[in-house]
A and B are shown apart, each in its own frame.
Chain A
Amino acid sequence: MISDVETILSSGVRLTAPLAFAACGEYLAERAGTLNISVEAMMLGAAFGSIATASATGSATTGLLAGVLIGVVIGWIHGNLSHRAEINTFVVGLVLNALALGLTSYLITTSTFEGHQVWQVSIPVLRDIPLIGQPFFVERWPVYLLLVLIPLTWWLVERSRWGLELRAVGENPQAADVTGIRVNKRRRQALLWCGALAGLGGAYLAVGEVGSFNQNMTAGRGYIVIAAVIFGAWRLGRTLLGCLVFGLADAMRLALPALGITLNSQLLVAAPYLLALLAMLVFSTQHREPRALGQPFERRST
Chain B
Amino acid sequence: MIARLTTVVGWRVAAATAAGVVVALALSALLIAATGGSPSGALEALYRGSVADQTAWTSTLLFTAPLLLVAVGACVSARSGYFNIGQEGQVLIGALAGAWVALRLAVAGPILLILTLAFAALAAGAWAGLSALMHRLRGVNVVVSTLLMTFLAQQLVAFAVNQSWFLQESRVGDAVASPQSNQVPVGARLTSFGEYPNLQLNLGLFIAIAAAVLIAVAMARTRWGFRLTMLGLNPVTAKHAGVRVAALGGLALAISGAFAGLAGAVLLTSPVGTNRLQPGMSINIGWDGLLVALVARNRPLLAMPVALFFGVLRSGGGFLAATGVPSFLVDVVKSLLVLAFVAPPVVVSLWRRRSVPEGVPA
Interface set of A (CB-CB < 8 Å, partner B)? 35, 37, 81, 84-88, 90-91, 94-96, 98-99, 101-103, 105-107, 109-111, 220, 223, 226-227, 230, 264, 266-267, 269-270, 273-274, 276-277, 280-281, 284-286, 289, 293-294, 301
Besides A105-B326, A269-B151, A269-B158, 7 other A-B contacts (C-beta < 8 A): A85-B350, A98-B287, A98-B338, A99-B332, A110-B37, A230-B148, A277-B140
Query: Is the CB of B15 closer than 8 A to any CB of chain A?
Result: no
- A90 vs B83: C-alpha distance in the bound complex, in angstroms? 9
Query: Is the CB of B93 closer than 8 A to any CB of chain A?
Result: no
- Chain B residues contacting A101 (CB-CB under 8 Å) are 328, 331
- A1 vs B58: C-alpha distance in the bound complex, in angstroms? 59
- A266 vs B144: C-alpha distance in the bound complex, in angstroms? 21
Which residue of the partner chain A has the closest CB to B344?
Answer: A85
- Chain B residues contacting A110 (CB-CB under 8 Å) are 35-37, 326
Q: Which of A91, A96, A223, A227 contacts B294 (CB 8 A)?
A: A91
Also in contact, A95 and B335, with CB within 8 A (given A90-B85, A110-B326, A266-B158): yes
CB distance from B2 to the nearest CB of A (A): 12
Closest 10 CB pairs of A and B: A102-B331, A286-B139, A99-B335, A105-B328, A270-B155, A110-B35, A106-B328, A102-B332, A266-B155, A266-B159
- Chain A residues contacting B134 (CB-CB under 8 Å) are 277, 280-281
Digitize B284-313: 1 where CB-to-A-CB distance is under 8 Å, 0 elsewhere.
100100110010000000000000000000
Q: Which of A109, A280, A281 contacts B328 (CB 8 A)?
A: A109
Query: Is the CB of B346 closer than 8 A to any CB of chain A?
Result: yes
- Chain A residues contacting B336 (CB-CB under 8 Å) are 99
- Chain B residues contacting A94 (CB-CB under 8 Å) are 85, 287, 290-291
**Can you list 22 A-B pairs with a CB-CB distance of less than 8 A?**
A86-B350, A88-B83, A91-B291, A91-B294, A102-B329, A103-B328, A106-B326, A106-B329, A106-B332, A109-B328, A110-B36, A110-B37, A226-B147, A227-B148, A230-B144, A266-B155, A267-B155, A270-B155, A273-B149, A273-B151, A280-B140, A281-B137
- Chain A residues contacting B149 (CB-CB under 8 Å) are 273, 277
In chain B, positions 133-165 with a C-beta closer than 8 Å to chain A are 134, 137-141, 143-145, 147-149, 151-152, 155-156, 158-159, 162
Query: Is the CB of B233 closer than 8 A to any CB of chain A?
Result: no
Which residue of the partner chain B has the closest CB to A284?
Answer: B138
- Chain A residues contacting B139 (CB-CB under 8 Å) are 284-286
Also in contact, A285 and B140, with CB within 8 A (given A85-B350, A87-B346): yes
CB distance from A263 to the nearest CB of B (A): 13
- Chain A residues contacting B18 (CB-CB under 8 Å) are none
CB distance from A182 to the nearest CB of B (A): 15
CB distance from B313 to the nearest CB of A (A): 11
Docked-complex contact B287 and A274, CB < 8 angstroms:
no
CB distance from B356 to the nearest CB of A (A): 9
- A128 vs B91: C-alpha distance in the bound complex, in angstroms? 51
- Chain A residues contacting B111 (CB-CB under 8 Å) are none
Docked-complex contact A301 and B362, CB < 8 angstroms:
yes
B-side interface mostly: helix
Also in contact, A293 and B141, with CB within 8 A (given A95-B338, A266-B162, A281-B134): yes
Which residue of the partner chain B has the closest CB to A275?
Answer: B148
Docked-complex contact A281 and B334, CB < 8 angstroms:
no
CB distance from B361 to the nearest CB of A (A): 6
Docked-complex contact A84 and B287, CB < 8 angstroms:
no
Query: Is the CB of B31 closer than 8 A to any CB of chain A?
Result: yes
- Chain A residues contacting B141 (CB-CB under 8 Å) are 35, 280, 289, 293-294
Also in contact, A220 and B31, with CB within 8 A (given A91-B294, A109-B326, A280-B145): no
- A102 vs B291: C-alpha distance in the bound complex, in angstroms? 15
- Chain B residues contacting A286 (CB-CB under 8 Å) are 138-140
Which residue of the partner chain B has the closest CB to A220?
Answer: B151
- Chain B residues contacting A107 (CB-CB under 8 Å) are 35
CB distance from A92 to the nearest CB of B (A): 9
- A301 vs B361: C-alpha distance in the bound complex, in angstroms? 7
- A28 vs B356: C-alpha distance in the bound complex, in angstroms? 34
Docked-complex contact A273 and B148, CB < 8 angstroms:
yes
CB distance from A130 to the nearest CB of B (A): 36
- Chain A residues contacting B294 (CB-CB under 8 Å) are 88, 91
Which residue of the partner chain B has the closest CB to A224?
Answer: B151
Query: Is the CB of B1 closer than 8 A to any CB of chain A?
Result: yes
- A70 vs B362: C-alpha distance in the bound complex, in angstroms? 37
- A155 vs B148: C-alpha distance in the bound complex, in angstroms? 30
Docked-complex contact B343 and A102, CB < 8 angstroms:
no
Query: Is the CB of B339 closer than 8 A to any CB of chain A?
Result: yes
- Chain B residues contacting A86 (CB-CB under 8 Å) are 1, 346, 350
In chain B, positions 338-362 with a C-beta closer than 8 Å to chain A are 338-339, 342-343, 346-347, 350, 361-362
Which residue of the partner chain B has the closest CB to A106?
Answer: B328
- A105 vs B287: C-alpha distance in the bound complex, in angstroms? 17
CB distance from A77 to the nearest CB of B (A): 9
- A276 vs B83: C-alpha distance in the bound complex, in angstroms? 19
- A285 vs B31: C-alpha distance in the bound complex, in angstroms? 45
- A101 vs B326: C-alpha distance in the bound complex, in angstroms? 13
CB distance from A144 to the nearest CB of B (A): 31
CB distance from B26 to the nearest CB of A (A): 16
